[in-house]
Structure 1
Amino acid sequence: MTEGLRDGSRGEGRRGFIYRAGTGLACLLLASAGVCWVAANWEHASNLQKLAGAQMLLAVLVLAAVWRARPGSEGRLEAGNRNFTAAAHLAGLAGVATGALLALIGQIYQTGADAWQLFLAWAALLIPWLLTQHTVFLGLLFAVVLNTALGLYLGVHDGGIWRDFGGWTSAALLAALLNAVLLAAWERCIAYFDDGWRIGPRILAMAVAGWLVAAAFAGIDSRAGPIGISILGWAVLATMYLAYTRLRSDLAIVSLAALAAFVLLVLPLLYWVGSEAGLLLVVVVLLAAMAMGLRKLGQLLRARALADDPWYVSAFRLVAMGITAVLLIVFLLITLDFQVETLWVPGLLLCLAGLAAYRRGGADVLRELGLTSMTAGLLLSGGSFFALHEDGSGVAVYALLALGLVLYVLAGNAAFRFIAAFFVLGMATVMTWPHGNWEDALFDAGHALRDAPLSAYLRMWWFSLAGVLVLLLGRGEQAGRRWRPLGWALVFLAQITVWQTPAPQPGSIAQVWRFDPSVVVIWLACAALPVAALGAVVWRKPALPPSIRLGAPLALAIAAVGWMGAPGVSLALLWLIIGFAMRHRSLMGFGVLALLAYLMHFYYLLDSTLLNKSFVLGATGAWLLASAWVLRRVHRKKAQRDAAFTAAGPAEHSAAVGADAGGAERVGGIEHAEGSASSAGRSGAALRFGGMASRFWRRGGLIAGLLIVLAAANAGIYQREQILARGQRVVLELAPVDPRSLMQGDYMRLNFDVANKALSALGQAPDALRRDIGRRGAGLLVLRPDERGVHGLVAIRALSNGTSKSAYVASGGSPVQPAGSDYDDVFLEFRLRGSQVRVVTDAWFFPEGQAARFERARYGEFRVDQDGAGLLTGLLDERLRPLSGR
């Protein structure tokens, strides 16, 4: 896409952008559809059908990627960057399908909602494809999945194996080190990834900084506080600063390091503050630190001939100024005695004082003090005007708008202008938002349709349209300083508003049309925004072929009808198209991030079912993929015809000239020609051999990765099937609750009675037994059935290969007998999860919409093998009747 952005004014660049954006969006929607389908836990398919279908789909994707990776299969539009080839897209889909397969296995065999094992296995299985395909998507997928696994593990285990070495603090530092290693590896191999936009290094640097900040936050609860972690973090960030200013220039990572260092400065200062005067001193220190950081970043920008602050420098200023302004507000609220309704008075004074300091201050600290004072004053005034509006004041909204307008015009700083526009317009939107439960009115036929859904979509539409127009007004250098902050504020407000709008189901459109057709009209208007933007892009000169000019907007318009059920997709695509048209990388990146964030949000929306979401995303994704393929084929055939027609005329002349040149070469130097031909032959042979080896490596890696995934998946399936076939039946009492798990769907969280008793017994067990179980993080429950067949806890003991062979009798006075004795005891493995005891699983996954069916569950039914490994096979009611089963 980098080539398309540089060449956005020519037809070839626009064709490349349409094809790459279309196929990339299609693959992302198809991957999201697969996740939603797995999470829906479709009850009309058997376990064999689900597992076989998922594995067949994975095999088809990999084999298709192998086929597309053959020599000569990639077209001109695909060959510019390996990240946008068909093989790369198919390999990326296979990577997502691997995670879906693992989630499906965990869902079917009820392995629990503790998902860190799933993500860790997923990351491990991605390695063969990552090493052979070298695509940015696979690299980022691996990094994100690995970090997710680590975060989930630390959350479950309260620091995991590092619990005795500082707990969360040491674990977060280990995670930062891991991401630093990944960052160094990516930088070393960045040419293989063809990562011209440096997406991977920036995201990994963000992960390093994020884990350092998390370690400092965790250190607040320690005896020494966060200062030690902050010092270590500053050392790491200083190394990052030196590396990306001297070894490899990347001011985005430098700004990120400066921002993380600022946050690491805030934490120990707030930890030590103990008075109002101390808080004021903290504000002064932060102002000085912010001024120093911005001065250094300004020097680096001037050294690279950059006049305006890029987005990453503005982001540093925004966050640093926001934190300092909030602390200044806290200081004022502590020291001043004002009612909320009268806080606009000190807020206005702060705005005036800050404006004077900013416009007259020559020193960096004074200018930053002015900006921070204006920010604090604006926030205070906004809160006060909101309280006045709630009390019935009719002029509060207008007063806030007037204050924001004055500050926006008089303050020339882009970051502050963004804050002023975003805060004032956002507050005005909240203050004028219609009251009433409009979600029920939209989706519940028993409620009358109010005007609030129309108002919500209207706000989103106007914010989007205004944002595009204002950004177009700010294309010049001077106009950009004036209009671009307002444009970005409108873009952010539109993106936030779309998160507050419900996602209509296709079946509800007819119902809503009967109540109020204007709602359906505004739905169509929102879906039409990216279509109109794409039409404007493809119809500008130089003219594109009619197949592109007509076909691309038409294909997008048909897909947009499906996106009425997911309006955030249309909005994110709008930013992507406008960003390309303006050659605005930041807006294009924002569109991609907005799309990913909205798809995550869309997954958790309860307005429509997961199967409906899977259908909407899958159908639109398949349509876009087919459309991109058809348009590319049409363009390729036309290009071949044009090339043949052009070459027909001068072909004979070229041949004659070539013959004359060849003759002259033979007369003038036969020996030289022969030598050149021999050297060219050897060079061509070497290149062909290298190309063949590279293609063999890539295609062989795809096949090897597929075999490893299938082998690992089926080994897990076989192991669990053996437990189900040969295991002993065990029934335990439980107490459930309900959430939703990412990728695995709706589930009922379980808490078994024997787990609570085991935890109590573990606290009273002998020291040797307790140490053994704690060291291994697991032990065995000795269970015995009563007359109803419900098993209760008799004792706890260590694993069979533990150092302690003794058992602690947890209840009753009966001796602990070996398994298979007259007592019919059963050994069941348990695991320690932080301060809790986990018995087999903590969740029961069920099809979406079946929660009421399992509310009567009182017992869980297991199958347990001789080694104590168990699987949950069903839930039982109070009379031990099955509610479901295999």
Structure 2
Amino acid sequence: MSRSLENKLIESGIAVSQPDVAAPIETPWFVRAIQAFSGWLAALFLLGFIGMGAVFLLDSSVASAILGLMLIGGAYALLRQTHSDFLEHLALAASLAGQMLVAWALASVLGSTLGWDNAGLWWALLVLQAVLALVMPSLTHRTFSAFAACLAFYLAMVETASAPTMAGGLMLLGLTVLWLNEFRWPAHVRQLEALGYGLLLGLLAIQSVGYFGQSLLLGRYFVGSGLDWLEPWAGDALGLLALLLLLRHLFQRHAHAVEPGMRVATYTAVLLLALLSLEAHGLSHGAVVVALGFAIGHRGVMGFGGLLLLLSIGSYYYWLDVTLLAKAMTLFALGLLLLAIRWVLLCRWHTGASVAVEEGADA
């Protein structure tokens, strides 16, 4: 490797192993799991001891906020200095306790001034979790904070505009842009991946809750106000917009390899997906995540997309107002259709391979 290339890789934050340095031995996964469990157990005992002595602080919003910020600050300092799984999870538990204390203080202040049914608490928690997701020097903490920020954003949109599916669509747009620009900053690839996984977990959580007809507000459901007249098509429209952005990115990257006929077929498939989403809401979200994982070559993202597809199709099948016999016959017909499509594709593949072999023999 040339010296200039090695310097460029080091400046970009990519570690370059030297030939005379032995590769570090990684800790087995079961040892790391035991260390993480020990860290959470120690944190629970420690926080329980602190809680027994400081329970009177819950009566004061200022004292709760100060103690919570101190716990978050201590977790930040510990995470910057440690490379141990035990201490990392201990700091994570302390940070979660601090976040709960800060949330309690915010709820007390905003509830007493603006009323207990306002969305100010969720917007404030969204800002807190977004800041923690960006600054905390721990991939696990970044993932959890991004996940918590998604939930807070969902609840804020429900309380503010009565638009739960719009929240999911905006999250899908955000994670699409994030994963497509993953390698734009090579020194922060792992941090961006942690944020991406948090957004995927948040999207999966809120979509699952919506498919089962439940609410994250503990029995409270959004009322008809705000942007409820856009529901539930707003989320599907944003999902299709994310899919179009993804296709535009792919067509620009592979401009010379994509034929005009392929572009027409792709946009026709997008139109068909839009028509299907009018009935099976959320189908476009799973399709976008699957296409995104395939585009960036990430099997984990494709797995999340498969789960979203299964949830949306299963929800549509469960809530479909027809008899079980009609549902069974529909599944049977779909199975036959998929098998026929597989047979056609295999026949075309074998035909193309045979023609290629014959042309090679003639040459």
TM class, shorter-length = 0.5 to 0.7
C-alpha change, 1:349 and 1:488, in structure 2 (3 Å) is same
Partner amino acid for 1:456?
P
**Unaligned 5+ residue runs, structure 2?**
1-25, 214-227
- Distance of 1:327 and 1:361 partners within structure 2: 21
**What residue number does 2:181 align with?**
473
CA contact (8 A) 1:562 1:616 kept: no
- TM superposition shift of 1:565: 3.4
- TM superposition shift of 1:419: 1.4
C-alpha change, 1:637 and 1:360, in structure 2 (3 Å) is closer
Give me the CA root mean square deviation. Answer: 4.3
- Distance of 1:631 and 1:531 partners within structure 2: 26
Say whether residues 1:482 and 2:191 are aligned partners.
Answer: yes
**What residue number does 1:579 align with?**
293
CA contact (8 A) 2:290 2:301 kept: yes
Work out which of the residue numbers 329, 334, 339 in structure 1 matches 2:52. 334
Identity of aligned residues (%): 21
Say whether residues 1:414 and 2:132 are aligned partners.
Answer: no
Say whether residues 1:255 and 2:26 are aligned partners.
Answer: no
**What residue number does 2:225 align with?**
none
Pick the structure with more strand per residue. 1
Partner amino acid for 1:482?
Q
TM-score of the pair, normalised by structure 2? 0.66
- Distance of 1:595 and 1:615 partners within structure 2: 21
- Distance of 1:530 and 1:345 partners within structure 2: 44
Matches within 5 A, 1:685-834: none
Partner amino acid for 2:154?
T
- Distance of 1:329 and 1:401 partners within structure 2: 24
Work out which of the residue numbers 427, 434, 441 in structure 1 matches 2:152. 427
1:440-488 Cα offsets, whole Å, 9 max, x none, are xxxxxxxxxxx63xx1221111111111211222235423133222222
Partner amino acid for 1:355?
Y
**What residue number does 2:220 align with?**
none
C-alpha change, 1:465 and 1:625, in structure 2 (3 Å) is farther
CA contact (8 A) 1:460 1:497 kept: yes
CA contact (8 A) 2:133 2:142 kept: yes
Partner amino acid for 1:478?
A
- TM superposition shift of 1:496: 1.8
**What residue number does 2:168 align with?**
460
CA contact (8 A) 2:123 2:152 kept: no
C-alpha change, 1:544 and 1:395, in structure 2 (3 Å) is closer
1:220-239 Cα offsets, whole Å, 9 max, x none, are xxxxxxxxxxxxxxxxxxxx
**What residue number does 2:5 align with?**
none
C-alpha change, 1:637 and 1:350, in structure 2 (3 Å) is same
1:836-884 Cα offsets, whole Å, 9 max, x none, are xxxxxxxxxxxxxxxxxxxxxxxxxxxxxxxxxxxxxxxxxxxxxxxxx
C-alpha change, 1:432 and 1:590, in structure 2 (3 Å) is closer
Matches within 5 A, 1:482-631: 482-501=191-210, 516=229, 519-520=232-233, 522-526=235-239, 529-530=242-243, 533=246, 537=250, 540-541=253-254, 543=257, 549-551=263-265, 554-555=268-269, 557-559=271-273, 561-596=275-310, 605-606=318-319, 608-609=321-322, 630=344
**What residue number does 2:71 align with?**
350
C-alpha change, 1:543 and 1:361, in structure 2 (3 Å) is closer
C-alpha change, 1:434 and 1:329, in structure 2 (3 Å) is same
CA contact (8 A) 2:72 2:99 kept: yes
Partner amino acid for 1:496?
A
- Distance of 1:489 and 1:497 partners within structure 2: 12
- Distance of 2:323 and 2:294 partners within structure 1: 32
1:610-656 Cα offsets, whole Å, 9 max, x none, are 657668766766666555555565566566556655654x3xxxxxx
CA contact (8 A) 2:212 2:315 kept: no
- Distance of 1:326 and 1:430 partners within structure 2: 28
CA contact (8 A) 1:563 1:569 kept: yes
TM-score of the pair, normalised by structure 1? 0.30
1:190-243 Cα offsets, whole Å, 9 max, x none, are xxxxxxxxxxxxxxxxxxxxxxxxxxxxxxxxxxxxxxxxxxxxxxxxxxxxxx
Bigger radius of gyration: 1
- TM superposition shift of 1:566: 3.3
C-alpha change, 1:414 and 1:420, in structure 2 (3 Å) is same
1:290-342 Cα offsets, whole Å, 9 max, x none, are xxxxxxxxxxxxxxxxxxxxxxxxxxxxxxx5x76566554444332133772
C-alpha change, 1:559 and 1:626, in structure 2 (3 Å) is farther
Query: Which structure carries more relative contact order (alpha carbon 8 Å, separation 6+)?
Result: 1
1:400-443 Cα offsets, whole Å, 9 max, x none, are 344334433332211111112222332243244238xxxxxxxx
- TM superposition shift of 1:584: 1.4
C-alpha change, 1:583 and 1:338, in structure 2 (3 Å) is same
CA contact (8 A) 2:290 2:302 kept: yes
- Distance of 1:482 and 1:495 partners within structure 2: 20
Matches within 5 A, 1:195-234: none
Matches within 5 A, 1:143-222: none
Partner amino acid for 1:485?
A
Pick the structure with more helix per residue. 2
